[in-house]
Amino acid sequence: MKNKIIIIYKSSTGFTKKYAEMIAEEIGCTLADYKTAAVETLSHYDTVVFGTRAHAGMIDGYKKIKKMFQKSAAGHFVLFVTGASPDTSEDTLNAFWSQNLSAEELEKIPHFYMPAGLCYEKMSFPDKLMMKTAAAFMKRSVKKKQEKTEMDLAVERMISSSYDISDKTYINPLVSYLKTTAADHT
């Protein structure tokens, strides 16, 4: 008999790992690092949950894990993405998902977003440079301070230093899904 659920996480600064551990603890499932994931590993589970970060508008590691899943004997795939954006408006999230998933994937793959934060101390040098450049650009933006929207100012403040907006409540929709719907796939 196969095990029910495995969570594979790809974490660069620790936020995705933190969420993956919270989810695994809540539902009592196996947890594995993306670096050790293999088709054979995934094949031992009915449901594969992949957690990763949004990086430069993309889902980091998605193409590779999707190929592994397709080659595996696992039957169900779920995705969660962590990110630095506190903007979880439906329009913003829909644009992100549409940019990264095909229409078929949007329909078939349950997907969840969890606000996390930035940790400059654990970032790779290229990522740190990219973020610091973006922060400097925003500060020198052509818009005068009085013309910037509240969102412009909030983003400018947020990307100028490390912060953590992760919260256990963000796992609730995914945990609820896994406890009900994913269990039906086993």
> Vertex 62, ends 58 and 66: CA angle to 5°?
150
pLDDT tens digits, 138-168? 666 655 555 777 666 666 666 666 778 899 9
The residue assigned the tokens 């592994």 is 68
CA separation for the pair 118, 156 (Å, rounded): 13
Tell me, yes or no, if the pTM score tops 0.85.
no
What average pLDDT does the structure give for the chain? 85
What's the pLDDT tens digit per position in 76-114? 999 999 988 776 788 889 999 999 999 999 999 999 999
Residue 103 phi, psi dihedral angles, 5° rounding: -60, -40
Rounded CA separation 100/117 (Å): 20
